[in-house]
Amino acid sequence: MPLALLALAIGAFGIGTTEFVVMGMLPQIAGDLGVSVSAVGLLISAYAIGVVIGAPTLTALGVRFTPRQTLIGLMVVFVVGNALSAIAPGYTTLLIARVLTALAHGSFFGVGAVAARRLVPKEKATQAISLMITGLTLANVVGVPLGTFVAQQLSWRLVLGGVAAIGLVTIAGLLAWMPAVAGEPTDLRSELSAFRRRQVWLILGVTMVGFAAMFAVYSYVNPILTELGGIPEGWVTPVLALFGVGTTIGTLSGGRLGDRFGFSFVAVGLLGMSLVLVAFALLARTPVAAVVLLVLFGTIGFALGPVVQSRVIDAARVPGGSLVSAANQAAFNVANAFGAALGAAVLSAGLGYTAPLWVGAVVALAGAGVAVLALRGERADARAVHVAATADLAAWRHTLAPAHTG
């Protein structure tokens, strides 16, 4: 593994930790700042908005620089945002600092995915992305539980200060290990031209629709486990740790399977996710089955992420591809909001905690349908390239024919 991938994974670990650890520190932050828990909960929404805004904006600003330069600049923003969050004197300052931190999130993964692909042979491009994203999944297994514990025992400010330190380690790793040849500066017009391609929008559609299924369920996983599965509240954290292990295994295995089977793996995976959620809905009241199916659900879902990220860069067909890569990160956050809203809608309608599972199954099936369309488009593009190459070869042979005859 190139050490530059380790630097990207460390950065992803820091980003994943700062995004999700706030959920476990809500009471501590609220008590320290003298605001309600619901007000602190808005920090989560503010972070998501910052990701959606920052992913295309900062990536567009960074196209004139090499990926190495852009990634270092994004980590500087990340460090400053977390440091300001750690010393924020009041709620408003913390809110602004969290949005600033989030601006670097989507762009880092977008540009980082492009750089990761350049560090390995083409046939291992998806595996390289999966190794970077593994840092994000490990954040849920290690970073978030550890940060929550530190916040409970010491201070939430110490947690965010520690995340800022992780950002500094990432910067040092990028300076030491990321080669300047991992991508070249491009121009905004070239990057924007990728959005004229139907295939790009189909893959972004797969992200927004297919992955909404994951968030429709995961957003309400606690009451699903306790109210339906009858699992004691104290066991929810270990179960979520198992879920995190499953997502890590899925991310790593998805990289290999994506390089081997391409986008067909995404279509089959979303269909499999739909079937798992159907089984989950039917067996949710059986604790062991609920836990097994939840872990399997996370494993499948996170196995698809690196594949979609890699294929959208391929679909762009531009020298860089960082802007569509970042747009896919924004699409993940759209899926987050969309899925959570769908889950909230069926719960508000009084349909019970099995309803998000059924919604997730339907949405995953719809995502599989979009993935089939994207797969057909990918194959049509491949045939067009083959036809063009054959025509060029025929023209070349025709040009040489007179000289050979003579």
pLDDT at position 65: 83
Tokens linked to 2 = 């190139």
Lookup result for tokens 């040092």: 172
Q: Give me the pLDDT at residue 346, please.
A: 86
How far, in Å, CA of 329 to CA of 109, rounded? 7
Do residues 295 and 248 touch, judged by C-beta distance below 8 A?
no
pLDDT at 270: 94
CB contact at 8 A, 84 and 97: yes
Per DSSP, 225 falls in state: I
**What totals of helices (H) and strands (E) does the chain contain, helices first?**
17, 0
Dihedrals phi, psi of 146, to nearest 5 degrees? -65, -45
Confidence (pTM): 0.79
Q: Which residues contact 362 (CB under 8 A, 6 or more apart)?
A: 274
Q: DSSP characters for 108-131?
A: HHHHHHHHHHHTS-GGGHHHHHHH
Query: How much of the chain is in helix, strand and coil states, percent to nearest 5?
Result: 85, 0, 15
Instruction: Give yes or no for a contact between 339 and 214, defined as CB atoms under 8 angstroms apart.
Output: yes
pLDDT at residue 202, as a whole number: 92
> Which parts of the chain register pLDDT below 70?
38, 181-185, 187, 381-406
Tell me what pLDDT residue 297 has.
93
- What is residue 406's predicted lDDT score, i.e. its pLDDT? 45
Alpha-carbon Rg for the chain, nearest whole angstrom, is 22
Look at residue 243 in the predicted model and tell me its pLDDT.
Answer: 87
